[in-house]
Amino acid sequence: MAGSTLASPSADPAAAAAAASVSVSPGRETWRRFRRHRLAMASTVILCLLILGVVVGPWIWTVPINEIDFSAQLQGPSWAHPFGTDDLGQDLLARMMYGGRISLAVGLAAMVVATLVGVFIGALAGMSRRGLDPFLMWVTDLFLSLPQLPLLLLVIYLFREQLKAVFGVEGGVFILIVIVIGGLRWMPVARLVRAQFFSLREKEFVEAARAQGATKTRQMLVHILPNAIGPVIVAATIEVSSAIIAESTLSFLGLGFPPDIPTWGRLLFDAKDHLDVAPHWAIFPGAAIFLTVLSINFIGDGLRDALDPRRVI
């Protein structure tokens, strides 16, 4: 029949575009929005290069980190030593690549500890309707009121030798620093998760799950937590940079890793007495800390914007 001719799929471009936009997954849409954040993308490239350098670099630049050469002490950057040398003639590039692994590992591990503790406490407080929430928030406020740096120094001073005896020098200090930094950085995550749970637990999809007999644990793990994970991811990225700064501060004060383990903070501590004759000794590890922390903060900004459906990018 003449009036019943079916329209071809290409007859309505607007409908086809709308159908295509509906089929885009949330992950792909988040990636599309993140790519449009130029600072976040540039920071991602810089951070990936730093990680690649500290992971793969020692396989390419095979100079031993403890090779002493008094004839080359306090030399500036050169072809033989691209980042210069320290007061013992040790190659700073090799020491920075080795120490970068530890600094980044401390940041990531402390972030995992802080995020897991914060999510656990925040979820319990957010699902509680009686006395548990005030108690957990009292504990959170108590930890927030503690002076973190003096407490870090006290705990490390009291327990460093015991953990060294059990896990070895490097392993014991690593575990202690990760636990202490992570254990004092979970409070912002807990308050953020609690606020998200308060907002989501009364939504219609949670009420529907509750009406179908879902337990509180299932409501929390299956329905609420996946919808609250976006702000948690953003907060976790910020925790990485905070942990790196905290580890660098401890190493700079001489209470972090031992002198023979050249973390970026330890390199700054060793360079402080030679700034007038060898500024490169402090510039390169300081720049590494600065670029790492700045990149992570910009990535956090990009993730915040990409995961916020109300923000137009």
CB atoms within 10 A of CB 41: 15
**Could you tell me if 140 and 190 are in contact, meaning their C-beta atoms sit under 8 angstroms apart?**
yes
Q: What are phi and psi of 85, to 5 degrees?
A: -130, 170
Instruction: Please state, in angstroms and rounded to a whole number, the distance separating the CA atoms of residues 139 and 311.
Output: 34
Please give the pLDDT value at position 19.
47
Report the Cα–Cα distance between both ends of the chain, in Å, rounded: 48
Q: Which letter, b or e, does each residue of 55-72 get, where b requires 16 or more Cβ atoms within 10 Å of its Cβ?
A: eebbeeeeeebeeeeeeb
Please give the pLDDT value at position 23.
57
Q: How far is CA 87 from CA 190, 242, 274, in A?
A: 45, 30, 8
Residues 291-305 have a mean pLDDT of: 85
> pTM of the predicted model, to two decimals?
0.77
Greater pLDDT, 303 or 255? 303
Please give the pLDDT value at position 313.
56
Greater pLDDT, 110 or 312? 110
Instruction: Please state, in angstroms and rounded to a whole number, the distance separating the CA atoms of residues 178 and 108.
Output: 9
Longest CA–CA span in the chain (Å) reads: 97
